[in-house]
Chain A
Amino acid sequence: MLMAVPTIVIVAVAVFTLIRLIPGDPAALMLGDLAEPQQIAALRSTLGLDQSIPMQFMIWVGHLFNGDFGKSIVTGEPVLHLVLSRFFISAQIVVLAVFIASIIAVPAGVIAAWKQNSLTDLALVGTATVLLSIPTFWLGLLLLLFFGLKLGWVPVLGYVSVTTDWKAGLIYMALPVATLFIHEMGVIIRMARASTLEVLRLDYITHARAKGLSEQAVLWRHAFKNAFGPTWTMIGLILGNLLGGIAVIETVFSIPGLGRLLVDSIFQRDYPVIQGCLLLVAVAYVLVNLVVDLLYPLFDPRVVAE
């Protein structure tokens, strides 16, 4: 649990180093090929690029602590504000999709394990494997093609935030959420099934049966809670991973989320924004897993939160 702090420190160093490794001088790039050397030098000094690398790092970290993540080179917007507002858009899609997927997929996985090798099990596992093999960006396109173009139920382009108009916002969110939901269903069903199978082999399950409990009680009261621990950790990892991997979905549905922001910034060499995105996602990932770990003892009292 205490690993979270050093991890975030190393993450910060890594992000900083990564950006310095990018070839080319951002000041020269920003000013274009007609710029005078003096102009470039002036911009370098405003951006702090003329300092030594360790100095730049210290200044950067100092600013981070003051909530100053710099300004976008392209638009001049404060990075923290920009990144956080985009993060909110991505996060609502990811959290909603994973939440719905978990509610359906976890019980489905448990049932598949309980009926191991039955037709139900084969159908569930088969479906899950197919679902998880479909790339989200392709699935998104297919859904868009069908529901957007064929049926005309949802708009094909554009985006409205739920905060401005919640009805319209929900409609715009429907397809991206559905895409992620379908994909993650596959992942979670398989995980829940595997961890339930592990538990069902154990002695206390046989003992619960030997006590005279019904199969339902054995499954939900004894097996489920113990099997949920590993699945819970997995859901945490999925959440974190999706935050980073959502760029493709956002591209398909033209949503101005964090992923799209990162990709655009890479194209535009907007260093401060790239840094901000990477840092925010990594920190979010660490925090999500921290919360997951802290809640883990609820499912398994053997693991004591330190």
Chain B
Amino acid sequence: MSDQNALLSVRGLTLEVIHNGGAVVKDVSFDVSPGEIVGIVGESGSGKTLATRSIIGLIAPGIRHASGSIVYKGQDTLQAGDRTLRRLRGGEIGVVFQEPMTSLNPSMTIGRQLEEGLILHTKQTAEMRRTNILHMLTRVGLKDPAGALTAYPHEFSGGMRQRIMLASVMLLKPALLIADEPTTALDAVVQRDVMELMVELTKEQGTAVLLISHDLPMVARYTHRFVVMERGVVVEQGTTEEILSRPKHPYTRKLLSSLPFRGDVRAIDTNVSPIVSARDIVVDYPGRKSLFKKGAAKRALHGISIDIHPGEVVALVGGSGSGKTTLGRTIAGLVKETSGEVLFQGKRRDNDWFHYRMNCQMVFQDPYSSLDPRMTILSLVEEALRLIPSLTAAEKKQRAAETLEEVGLGEAFAGRYPHQLSGGQRQRVAIARAIARRPKFLIADEPVSALDVTVRAQVLDLFSNLQKRYGFSCLFISHDLGVVEQIADRVIVMQDGRIIEQGDRNAIFDAPKEAYTRKLLSAIPALDLNDSGGVKLKWRLDA
């Protein structure tokens, strides 16, 4: 029944939870041919990771194989013994995980970790192993391969660690590489470099790749074919071209329509005086103090000035370490500026904190951390109204309930606790809390980056609807340019604590001037909708 030419052939794979028998992966079938790149796209809970880990017999504790087969080079790995599996693992099938920060053993040198696989799967001499390792480390772009051999993982950045992971896996020349969200934890720019490296390396060695990701455009960019999974089931599979242009399943269409599209151009009056201005903001982080000497201070922001006009959504973009979050937190008053000042409605913010707090609110990135776990949803929103003198207790309660209703959380949610809610629902609560006071200005720090693709689209919609209804100004901090393209009126690009480029959204997206901006943009596609619910992805080149 399985394809004779396939390298890997998964048929009717079903995995279930041991204690209640519920299926987490249902009747999943797909093939991977030698040298081919196949994608698996799905959101959290789609079972994509469970399904792919079981290929090498790493079934999560509490889960068991119920039916179906996984045939690799004619051998069913689900029936194979430990010895066979161990020979396949690493030697034939390599795996790269999402988290480069935790995928390498912190107490073992890079050299030993790389050598371990070679000792296990090859008969190379120590000399050959060293040569091969050095060659591979050079190949993945490490500047000092010989030095890396005796270094420990914590001495490298996330991007470098992912390159080392890739080196450790590709060193064994596997026939199949399972890459599970290999670049999700990395900065957009680094993400693309690592992906390109992975594609090149596997092409050189003729390795087939199973690329697992929630990021549909990324998968589409590098694969010939892909599989869409939803809640443990394969809902659609086919060639990349086909699925993108003519999606058949409603879920695939939903995924595609959840991709951020460019929003309309709105008329913002920039001739009126700005509601919030930051003037020459400098922030130094103190160096690490020890008993005898004070480490040199690190300058996070080098004299930043920005204006935000009434009703305007200004996006702050940049990679990690660009200072965008520090700027947002400084304007919010969570970080004390070393020099410079923040003006609100033309007056110094520091002169009237109460007035500023009543009118400036914030939405945080992590909905798991931004809500007090010991408070109910209603009391969380009500708390935001606590300090408003003009409202009675009853009015506060009613306003809180109305606001919850407004963000799509009806009465049923009022008495629940944050841990009983999904990530998207929590972020709705956080938004409700922020807008309950009817602030004139909102700072949103990566408000949707922790959310799944479809949920992200819904929360973004909610956000822009509320923005239109209440007309608050917004500083929207994001590393995701797709989201920014959809929501922002104006874009400010930051790098290393400085503003390097700013302008209207269309100007920045269509005619970026700086190389860094072009590089950021090259990581996201421009989308063209077609009539059948499909899209065409256009990648911008950073050349």
Contact between A and B in the complex (any CB pair below 8 Å): yes
**Which chain A residues have a beta carbon within 8 Å of chain B's beta carbons?**
2, 202-204, 206-214, 221-222, 225-226, 299-302, 306
Is there an interface contact between A209 and B120, defined as CB atoms closer than 8 Å? no
With known contacts A301-B154, A306-B290, A208–B95 Cβ distance under 8 A: no
Instruction: Pick the interface stretch among B81-89, B400-408, B468-476.
Output: B81-89
In the complex, which of the residues A208, A209, A210, A306 contacts B105, with contact meaning CB atoms closer than 8 Å?
A208
Is there an interface contact between B97 and A212, defined as CB atoms closer than 8 Å?
A: no
A-B contact pairs, 22 of them (CB 8 A): A204-B104, A204-B105, A206-B58, A207-B95, A207-B103, A210-B56, A210-B89, A210-B90, A211-B90, A211-B117, A211-B120, A211-B168, A212-B85, A212-B86, A212-B89, A212-B91, A221-B108, A222-B105, A225-B108, A226-B107, A299-B107, A300-B106
The CA-CA distance from A122 to B372 in the complex, in Å, is 36
Chain A residues positioned under 8 Å from B231 (CB to CB) = none
How far, in whole Å, are A203 and B90 apart by their CA atoms in the complex? Answer: 15
CA distance A306 to B108 in the complex (A): 21
What chain A residues lie within 8 Å of B99 (beta carbons)? 203
Q: Is the Cβ of A203 less than 8 Å from the Cβ of B97?
A: yes
A141 to B271, CA, bound (A): 89
Q: Does B392 contact A (CB under 8 A)?
A: no
List 10 additional A-B contacts (Cβ < 8 Å) besides A211-B117, A225-B108: A203-B102, A204-B102, A204-B104, A206-B97, A209-B58, A210-B58, A212-B85, A213-B86, A214-B86, A306-B290
Name the contact of B116 in the complex, choosing from A203, A211, A301, A306 (C-beta under 8 A). A211
Complex: how many Å from CA A212 to CA B117? Answer: 8
A302 touches B154 (CB 8 A): yes
> A273 to nearest B CB, angstroms?
34
With a cutoff of 8 Å between Cβ atoms, the chain B residues found around residue A213 in the complex are: 86, 90, 116, 120
Given A2-B291, A300-B106, A300-B107, residue A212 in contact with residue B152 (CB < 8 A): no
Q: 3 tightest A-B contacts by CB?
A: A212-B90, A212-B89, A211-B90
CA distance A300 to B106 in the complex (A): 7
Q: Find residues 164-179 in chain B having any chain A CB closer than 8 Å to their own CB.
A: 165, 168
Contacts of B94 in A (CB 8 A): 210
Whether a CB of chain A sits under 8 angstroms from the CB of B540 is no
Chain A residues whose C-beta falls within 8 Å of the C-beta of B58 in the assembled complex: 206, 209-210
A224, B103: Cα distance in complex, Å: 16
Q: Are B106 and A207 in contact (CB under 8 A)?
A: no
Interface residue B121 (Cβ < 8 Å from any Cβ of A): yes
Chain B window 176-212, contacts with chain A (Cβ cutoff 8 Å), 1 for yes, 0 for no: 0000000000000000000000000000000000000
- Give complex CA distance A302, B151 in Å: 11
B87 touches A301 (CB 8 A): no
How far, in angstroms, from A164 to B91 measured CA to CA in the complex?
62
Say how far A216's CB is from chain B's closest CB, in angstroms.
11
Which interface residue of B56, B85, B107 has the most chain A CB atoms within 10 A? Answer: B107
Closest to A202 in B: B102
Contact A302 B120 (CB under 8 A): no
Is the pair B87, A212 in contact by a Cβ cutoff of 8 Å?
yes
Nearest to A297 among chain B residues (CB) is B107
CB atoms of B95 and A210 under 8 A apart: yes
Find the residue from A222, A299, A301 having the highest chain B CB count within 10 A.
Answer: A301
Q: How far is the CA of A25 from the CA of B393 in the complex (A)?
A: 64
* Interface residues as binary, B54-88 with A (CB distance below 8 Å gives 1, 0 otherwise): 00101000000000000000000000000001111
User: Which residues of chain B are within 8 angstroms of A207 by Cβ–Cβ distance?
Assistant: 95, 97, 103-104, 165
CA distance A209 to B86 in the complex (A): 8
Q: A211 CA to B87 CA in the complex, in Å?
A: 9
Q: How far is the CA of A196 from the CA of B102 in the complex (A)?
A: 16
The answer to whether B108 and A212 touch across the interface, beta carbons within 8 angstroms, is no
Residues on the B chain within 8 Å of A214, using CB: 86
Q: How far is the CB of B108 from chain A (nearest CB, A)?
A: 7
B109 nearest in chain A by CB position: A301
| A212 in contact with B88 (CB, 8 Å) | yes
- Inter-chain CA distance A212–B88, complex, in Å, is 7
Contacts of B154 in A (CB 8 A): 301-302
Q: Is the CB of B121 within 8 A of A212?
A: yes
Knowing A206-B58, A212-B121 touch, does A301 contact B86 (C-beta < 8 A)?
no
Closest to B88 in A: A212
Closest to A206 in B: B58
From B108, B120, B121, B290, contact of A222 by CB (8 A): B108
Residue of A nearest to B178 (CB): A210
- Tell me the smallest distance from the CB of B289 to a CB of chain A, in Å: 12
Residues of B within 8 A of A299 (CB): 107
Q: How far is the CA of A214 from the CA of B58 in the complex (A)?
A: 13
Which residue of B105, B120, B291 contacts A212 across the interface (Cβ within 8 Å)? B120
Instruction: Report the Cα distance A225→B112, complex, angstroms.
Output: 14
Provide the residues of chain A in CB contact with B290, threshold 8 Å.
Answer: 2, 306
Chain B neighbourhood of A2, CB < 8 A: 290-291
Nearest CB in chain A to that of B117: its residue: A211
Contact A225 B107 (CB under 8 A): yes
Per the bound structure, the CA–CA distance linking A120 and B509 in Å amounts to 62
What chain A residues lie within 8 Å of B120 (beta carbons)? 211-213
Return chain A residues, CB-CB under 8 Å to B116: 211, 213
B301 to chain A, nearest CB (A): 29
Determine how close the nearest CB of chain B comes to the CB of A119; give it in whole angstroms.
Answer: 17
- Closest Cβ neighbor of A211 among chain B residues: B90
Give the contacts of B14-32 with A (CB-CB under 8 A).
none
The answer to whether A302 touches B88, judged by C-beta atoms less than 8 angstroms apart, is: no
Chain B: minimal CB distance from A40 (Å): 46
Complex CA–CA separation, A212 to B86 (angstroms): 4
Mark out the residues of chain B between 262 and 276 whose CB falls within 8 Å of any chain A CB in the assembled complex: none
**Alpha-carbon distance between A226 and B153 when the two chains are bound, in angstroms:** 13
Q: Which residues of B contact A203 (CB under 8 A)?
A: 97, 99, 102-103
Task: Determine the chain B residues whose CB is within 8 A of the CB of A211 once the complex forms.
Answer: 89-90, 116-117, 120, 168
Q: Which residue of A lies closest to B291 (CB)?
A: A2
Residues of A within 8 A of B168 (CB): 211
Q: How far is the CB of A2 from the nearest CB of chain B, in Å?
A: 5
Q: How far is A37 from B90 in the complex, measured between Cα atoms in Å?
A: 88
What chain A residues lie within 8 Å of B165 (beta carbons)?
A: 207
Chain A residues with CB under 8 Å of B108's CB are 221-222, 225
Query: Which residues of chain B have C-beta atoms less than 8 A from A300's C-beta?
Result: 106-107
Chain A residue nearest to B99 in the complex (CB): A203
Residue of B nearest to A226 (CB): B107
Chain A residue numbers with a CB within 8 Å of B85 are 212
Contacts of B105 in A (CB 8 A): 204, 208, 222, 226
Q: How far is A221 from B113 in the complex, measured between Cα atoms in Å?
A: 11
Q: How far is the CA of A211 from the CA of B172 in the complex (A)?
A: 10
Candidates B90, B95, B121, B152; contact of A301 at CB < 8 Å: B152
Q: How far is the CA of A300 from the CA of B107 in the complex (A)?
A: 5
**Chain B minimum-CB-distance residue to A205:** B105
Q: How far is the CA of A203 from the CA of B91 in the complex (A)?
A: 19
Query: How far, in Å, is B128 (CB) from chain A's closest CB?
Result: 19
Most chain A CB within a 10 A radius of its CB, from B86, B106, B108, B165: B106
Which residue from chain B places its CB closest to the CB of A210 in the assembled complex? B95
Nearest neighbor of B120 in chain A, beta-carbon distance: A212
User: Using an 8 Å CB-CB cutoff, how does the interface string of B138-178 with A read, 1 for contact, 0 for none?
Assistant: 00000000000000101000000000010010000000000
